[in-house]
Amino acid sequence: MVAKISVGNSLFGALAYNQNKIDEGEGHVLCSNKMTEREDGKFNIHSCMEDFNRQLPQDIKTEKPILHISLNPHPDDILTDEQLTAIAEEYMQKMGYGNQPYIVYKHEDIQRHHIHIVSTQVDETGRKIADSNNFFKSKSITRELEQKYGLHPAEKKKQGQVFDFKKVNPDNGNIKMQIANVIKPLASRYRFQSFNEYRALLSLYNINVVEVKGEVRGKPYNGLVYSATDDNGNKVGNPLKSSLFGKSVGYNVVNERIDKSKVEIKDKRLREQTRQRIISAIGGNPSREMFTKELSNQHIDVLFRENDAGRIYGVTFIDHNNGCVLNGSRLGKEYSANAFEERFNTLHSGETTPTTEIAVQNGHSYEPIRNNDGLVDGALDLFSMESGGTDPQEEAFIRKLKKKKKKQQRKF
């Protein structure tokens, strides 16, 4: 069992995240401590906020009083609600939070059912409860719980651990929430060294992302716009500004993640790990279908980009074992697009370099469509997003881009 402890200052954010799972029918409350339960046995954000705030002291001496813990059993551990409740209560007691107000949620949005706990980490004087050794303390407690309840050890889980995120499905409704449930954990757990690699990662889950750059009132503007797609890569519904999902998936943080990923991939030699898995899969000179299947068995997805003639001009590997997204060229010439074109296809003379990108995944393709102004389709539809109205700055930005484009055209 793996425990993850997060601290913050937004009580509403922690409660809303879990309440959304309940509203979507993908979770429910297991138990609570020092919380008021309604007559119908349900909880809501308003009453929970009141309970927590009533028990928080007036003078809080820490900037991050809110505690959010997730406990994740091994996928092979099938536990009843009663067992999960007992595990949560025992964990909180042993961690020193047994007398704190808390509420325990069970999440069922992925195959690996797990629990989230929202609580506080300040005592009655407003001081933070000692947490200097929480990492080692938590690890020791989860090991005790594994032995007590006969669970799979966490060490055996890590090597083959794959996070089972769901593809966005427009038929399920609430596209915004579906996208949020995917992009937030992906952006923090995976490593990618370019925006295109980030984009390739999201495409696995029927999500497209484009960059929007320019100037608004003389100031630089940089942003990201997310869209849902169907299995064929066609956009579905309105594009959504990254601000609707929070800073963690915005332009600045994603670029910071890119810079950090470059260092981690090099220092931890993660590229070499992925290369060895690919070498294993390509042994015996398999067909493209067999190669893709073998990589899938090793928890690696491969995306081939092809032109209209079927020539491979790009390849990206997504290794779920170490959370790395790597273009083939980063692994060496023998893993580049040209190498796979020679291996899997017959070379055709006179072919030109493609000008549009079509990524093929499991027989399907997606293509970023650009309009006559050279902007990615959807960038001019920012005002139809779920933002509750137009954004004057963005509206001015779009007008300026159009004027700039027309001036450039007149020069020629």
pLDDT digits (tens, 9 = 90+) for 286-296: 899 999 999 98
Question: Is residue 362 scored above 60 in pLDDT?
Answer: no
Residue 257 confidence (pLDDT)? 96
How is the beta sheet containing 27-33 ordered, strand by strand?
Answer: 2-8, 66-72, 114-120, 102-107, 27-33
pLDDT confidence band for 405 (50 / 70 / 90): low
Q: The tokens of 412 are what?
A: 């020629």
pLDDT of residue 401 exceeding 60, the answer is no
When mean pLDDT is compared over 34-38, 47-51, 86-90, 144-148, the highest value belongs to 86-90
Rounded to 5 degrees, what angle do the CA atoms 307, 312, 314 make? 100
Tell me what the mean pLDDT of segment 298-311 comes to. Answer: 91
Per-residue pLDDT at 357 exceeds 50: no
Residue 256: what pLDDT? 95
Model confidence over 318-356: pLDDT tens digits? 999 889 999 999 999 999 999 999 999 854 344 443 333
Task: Give me the residue label for tokens 């909880």.
Answer: 43
**What's the pLDDT band for 406 if we cut at 50, 70, 90?**
low
Backbone phi and psi for residue 211, each to the nearest 5 degrees, phi listed first = -90, 145
pLDDT of residue 133: 81
φ, ψ at 280 (rounded to 5°): -65, -40
The stretch 231-249 carries a mean pLDDT of 89
> In this predicted structure, what is the pLDDT of residue 360?
46
Q: How far is CA 157 from CA 1, 137, 162, 182, 319, in A?
A: 8, 20, 9, 22, 16
Percent of the chain with pLDDT over 90: 43
* Mean predicted lDDT score pLDDT of the chain: 81
Confidence of residue 366 (pLDDT cuts 50, 70, 90): very low
Chain centroid to CA 359: 20
**% of the chain surpassing 70 pLDDT:** 80
Confidence of residue 108 (pLDDT cuts 50, 70, 90): confident
Between these two residues, 400 and 42, which has the higher pLDDT value?
42
Tally the residues of the chain. 412
Note the pLDDT of residue 99: 93
